Structure 1
Amino acid sequence: MTIQTDVAIIGGGATGAGIARDLALRGVDVSLFERGGLGGGTSGRSHGLLHSGGRYAESDPIGAEECIRESRILRDIAEGCIRETGGLFVQLESDDPAYFEEKLEACNELDIPTETISAEEAHERVPGLTEDVERAFTVPDGVIYPSRLVVANAADAREHGASIYTHTPVESVTTANGEITELHVGGEINDTVEATQIVNATGAWAEVMGEDLGVDVSMQPTRGVMISVEYDGLDPVLNRCRDPDDGDIIVPHDGEVVLGTTSVAVEDPDDYEEADWEVERSVDECAELIPDITDAPEVRTWWGVRPLYEPDEDERDDGRGISRGFFVINHAERNEPANLISVVGGKLTTYRQMAEAASDQICARLGVDASCETDERPLHASDDPAQLDALIDEFDAVNPTDRDIVTTATPAESAAD
């Protein structure tokens, strides 16, 4: 039997689930289709950093401003998905002091709270920190558990009438009269979907899915490695205060730290090399911050692919210069299918704002006069980690980033996922 819905969302990461929740709260009939378990793409394969915006303050102030605003909102609405840690930007003897000053000034201009501390105080806060520290400043970074975040959004959407389908890949598309008239979905439903509006929220796969939908979405996905090692006692997120490079972030988990990351352009987000040099370089570089990491036992290693949007071919290098801001593409404005939008770019931290922007456009096109409520309403079970972990099992959303945290997680693996 054909599934009929006002809005069909393709992609069940944080952004897709966030759009489903936003629209459902506005009374829109919405169905979400994910080819695997929820969060199995970029969302569940990150280092789990809740960005303060400090990392992008001087290079991408718009993206940084989005991060600090959204991180504050997430602390209010997603308590069980967040761990408060704080963060440090650390200048070593070999790092440019002018860069430290530039980043600190940029943070202050964007109202990202900071406090400059001496090398001695940095050692008090992080006992294992290298002796090569010159100084540091604090930022309100944190840790986010993406598996919990994604399922909290999906469950909230479902509570308000949305339909959430996992293991349902879109296999083909029918178009007529300048619109997409049918999605042919396989997997666990193997059915046809008719929707008034279609949303391509497939992240790093937006270009691949766009080809199936008959549109051009120019992505430059880049891969990055994360290595989780045994290490106890690190409280804040550590950021190396230098131009972004390989191995300059250390994210604390319980009894582990996640080291990362690299940035290497990939052609196919499903098929790319997982190179040993990336692991070795990330460990070596992070060990310049905490030397004991060199000998720390490796728990598990995984790669993720960033959903970077870059239509300018000249900018497609390693992706580090591409904005981490997000874009909502209205394909009707390009004389492409009039009932399709694509949501690309952004960060896990800014997923809710991405969902709001997309939902605003969708509601305008549907004639729905309802405003966004997701910045004020707590997520489903947001104060109950045990319930969130049960939902992770239900939605098949156990992913590498927080596999050591969620109670439904399978035993950690030492091999690359």
Structure 2
Amino acid sequence: MSGKKLSCDVVVIGGGATGVGVLRDAVMRGLSAILVERVDLGQGTTGRYHGLLHSGGRYVVSDPESATECAEENAILTRIHPDAVEATGGLFVAVAGDDESYPDRFLAGAQATGVPTAEITVAEALRREPRLNPQIFRAFEVHDGTVDGWRMVWGAADSARQYGAQVLTYHRVTGIEVRDGAVAAVICHGDKTGEDVTIDCRAVVNAAGPWAGKIAELAGEHDVEVVPGRGIMIAMNHRLVNRVVNRCVYPADGDILVPVHTVSIIGTTDARAADPDRLAIEPAEVQQMLDAGEQLIPGFRQARALHAWAGARPLLKDRRVSADDTRHMSRNMSVITHDVRGLVTVAGGKLTTYRLMAARTMDAVCEVLGENRTCRTADEAVATGSTYKVTHRLGEVEKAKKASHGLPDPDPVICECELVTKSMITELLAEQPTATFDDLRRQLRIGMGPCQGGFCASRTAGIAHESGCWSAAQSTELLRLFLKNRWNGIYPILSGAQAREASLDEWIYQGTYAMDSLPVTDLPAGAELVSATPYPSPGPNPAAVTDAGGVAPADAGGVAPAAGAGQSAAVASSTAAGSPGGTGALGGVPVDPSGEGK
């Protein structure tokens, strides 16, 4: 076969947390490994996460084995991923009307599974989290935390590269060669490069999550039955709590509120998805989540819902329950060694147990290869990158302002919500000249706070053009795609204050920049791949005009994100330094429903 040729011991298919974990584990055991991912790292299930680092408490009654695994891995991940984990702590609270017998079952389950738990008084719980429903009648303290899934994946990938691993993003697997009953090679196509790549190997790890069944079929294996469990989440515009707050009930919909960076995330639902590439968000589910939040935090609905998204859990078919009952399917991980020698599939589990899943997978691979190599991933911390908390950024901004002695700020704040400065953007673009708008969003959190990109998106496009990384045409077109993807996430929750924010953005991008009338230009190679999941154009949203003061767009195409855009040096240059033509304090364009933007 013509094209590029590579070789290694192990090919890992799938660039989520589990796949990257397997890659790191493999090379730390001394095996050579290459990872292949169809888009960017962490853009599948990992990127559509709730943000929760489980203590294990959620599963002490429903899934004791998973509870124990979560408790053990929580401590390990907190230690080896210091830049990705915030040890917030958590509470389980029982609210008036909940099953009064469950808290005792919860406490007994925690003791049996080894999940650290301590009961505290209701008064103490309310002191720690004053916004909690005062009608709670039991409260328990656990070791929940929050995790930045992308930062965790990038850190593990960088660690793997330091051990010699290769990572091929934007490469689609098109075939798996089998010779004499064993895997021999993986064939993939570079969607950015246009090049076919053949990777000779001794083993293949199928870590494709909800798509694992399709990958296994490429090798002639049809025994991987993955049931995608669809869950929706909603980000609110404030950090309403500083600890993870769980409802002390048998796992149900909308029973966890997670503080992630500057926002809070309520979730989640659980229903079977027919296609993990098409995850619809139903209006009734949105209302269900908001109602559940109100029961935990009175006044929850007064906060602004920023955006909604959906993710697909890769659950293996559980014959103990009906095919559609994903809520009660086990969260246990499964490692499958196939008849095709050298092919190993890993599925199930959760983000909290990604390292353990990788370790067990590589144990199976080593057994197949006849290698005696032990796992070391729990012993070595992942090297931290240039990560900041918002409070740290605020200190730097204040220091810079004092040093300027009233002169124009040489490093202005571009995203007020996340305190992202101009130099942070230019430095990242210098390191990654081919970065897309969504790459900047994931790595710097541009547009991921309450403003949701309404003002900082245009500024960032201007900076990218000014730095020479993007042409004026590319800047405007990437901005258009960025906003369009975000519109997909705001549409399901477009009402009230958020509808007014969307109308403001429409005036900025249509009224000021006239993006609707600009010609459309071709995107850079691969840039159209920033949204891994295609979504149909939504129909009219009746909720859009409810309590919106008559300012909501008439339909899905009414806001600038759905409009065409093209080459406009005016858009790029006038906003590069945050100048008046399209700048300000806060806006409101949300992220796509693929979930990449807490």
TM over 0.5: yes
From the superposition, tell whether residues 140 and 158 of structure 1 become closer, same or farther in structure 2 (CA, over 3 Å). Answer: same
- The residue aligned with 1:327 is 334
1:385 matched to 2:378? The reply is: no
- The residue aligned with 1:155 is 158
- The residue aligned with 1:200 is 206
Distance 2:350 2:437 in 1: 20
Q: Measure how far apart 1:41 and its partner are.
A: 0.7
Distance 1:363 1:80 in 2: 30
Q: Measure how far apart 1:168 and its partner are.
A: 0.4
- What per-residue deviation string (whole Å, max 9, x for no partner) do you get for residues 296-331 of structure 1? 112222111101112528432331111111011000
Q: Measure how far apart 1:232 and its partner are.
A: 3.4
- The residue aligned with 2:41 is 38
From the superposition, tell whether residues 119 and 313 of structure 1 become closer, same or farther in structure 2 (CA, over 3 Å). Answer: closer
- The residue aligned with 1:191 is 197
SS in 1 for 2:152: helix
Distance 2:437 2:74 in 1: 23
From the superposition, tell whether residues 298 and 399 of structure 1 become closer, same or farther in structure 2 (CA, over 3 Å). Answer: farther
User: Which letter does structure 2 place at the counterpart of 1:45?
Assistant: R
From the superposition, tell whether residues 273 and 111 of structure 1 become closer, same or farther in structure 2 (CA, over 3 Å). Answer: same
From the superposition, tell whether residues 233 and 264 of structure 1 become closer, same or farther in structure 2 (CA, over 3 Å). Answer: closer
From the superposition, tell whether residues 328 and 409 of structure 1 become closer, same or farther in structure 2 (CA, over 3 Å). Answer: farther
From the superposition, tell whether residues 280 and 53 of structure 1 become closer, same or farther in structure 2 (CA, over 3 Å). Answer: same
- Superposition pairs for residues 8-407 of structure 1, below 5 Å? 8-187=11-190, 188=193, 189-215=195-221, 216-312=223-319, 314-332=321-339, 337-381=340-384, 384-385=386-387, 406-407=443-444
- Give the stretch that moved more between structures: 169-178 or 89-98: 169-178
Q: Measure how far apart 1:229 and its partner are.
A: 0.5
SS in 2 for 1:79: coil
- What per-residue deviation string (whole Å, max 9, x for no partner) do you get for residues 12-43 of structure 1? 00111011101111110100000000011111
User: Which letter does structure 1 place at the counterpart of 2:218?
Assistant: D
Q: Is the 8 A contact 2:210 2:226 kept in 1?
A: yes
Q: Which structure carries more strand by proportion?
A: 1
Q: Is the 8 A contact 2:321 2:329 kept in 1?
A: no
User: Which letter does structure 2 place at the counterpart of 1:135?
Assistant: R
From the superposition, tell whether residues 15 and 364 of structure 1 become closer, same or farther in structure 2 (CA, over 3 Å). Answer: same
Bigger CA radius of gyration? 2
Q: Is the 8 A contact 2:342 2:365 kept in 1?
A: no
Distance 2:127 2:368 in 1: 55
Q: Is the 8 A contact 1:38 1:396 kept in 2?
A: no
Distance 1:18 1:160 in 2: 13
- Give the stretch that moved more between structures: 2-11 or 267-276: 267-276
Q: Measure how far apart 1:396 and its partner are.
A: 6.9
User: Which letter does structure 1 place at the counterpart of 2:219?
Assistant: L
Q: Measure how far apart 1:181 and its partner are.
A: 2.8
SS in 2 for 1:44: helix
Distance 1:355 1:390 in 2: 30
Number of residue pairs matched by the alignment:
408
Q: Measure how far apart 1:341 and its partner are.
A: 0.5
Distance 1:106 1:276 in 2: 35
SS in 2 for 1:109: helix
Distance 1:177 1:248 in 2: 51
Q: Measure how far apart 1:84 and its partner are.
A: 1.2
- Give the stretch that moved more between structures: 358-367 or 85-94: 358-367
- What per-residue deviation string (whole Å, max 9, x for no partner) do you get for residues 236-279 of structure 1? 10111112111111001233110101011012111232212211
Distance 2:71 2:23 in 1: 23
- Give the stretch that moved more between structures: 112-121 or 14-23: 112-121
- What per-residue deviation string (whole Å, max 9, x for no partner) do you get for residues 193-225 of structure 1? 221101100111111222223212011111111
Structure possessing the higher relative contact order (Cα contacts under 8 Å, 6 or more residues apart): 1
Q: Is the 8 A contact 2:61 2:106 kept in 1?
A: yes
- Give the stretch that moved more between structures: 286-295 or 146-155: 286-295
From the superposition, tell whether residues 415 and 129 of structure 1 become closer, same or farther in structure 2 (CA, over 3 Å). Answer: farther
Distance 1:341 1:370 in 2: 17
From the superposition, tell whether residues 372 and 142 of structure 1 become closer, same or farther in structure 2 (CA, over 3 Å). Answer: same
Q: Measure how far apart 1:292 and its partner are.
A: 1.7
- The residue aligned with 2:539 is none
Q: Is the 8 A contact 1:40 1:397 kept in 2?
A: no
Distance 2:261 2:368 in 1: 46
Distance 1:171 1:274 in 2: 30
User: Which letter does structure 2 place at the counterpart of 1:280?
Assistant: Q
User: Which letter does structure 2 place at the counterpart of 1:295?
Assistant: Q
- Calculate the aligned-residue CA RMSD, in Å: 2.4
Q: Is the 8 A contact 1:34 1:165 kept in 2?
A: yes
User: Which letter does structure 1 place at the counterpart of 2:113?
Assistant: L
SS in 2 for 1:102: helix
From the superposition, tell whether residues 403 and 124 of structure 1 become closer, same or farther in structure 2 (CA, over 3 Å). Answer: farther
Q: Is the 8 A contact 2:82 2:384 kept in 1?
A: no
Distance 2:362 2:72 in 1: 19
- Give the stretch that moved more between structures: 265-274 or 159-168: 265-274
User: Which letter does structure 2 place at the counterpart of 1:317?
Assistant: D
From the superposition, tell whether residues 403 and 321 of structure 1 become closer, same or farther in structure 2 (CA, over 3 Å). Answer: farther
- Give the stretch that moved more between structures: 32-41 or 308-317: 308-317
Q: Measure how far apart 1:290 and its partner are.
A: 0.5
Q: Is the 8 A contact 1:309 1:344 kept in 2?
A: yes
- Alignment identity in percent? 37
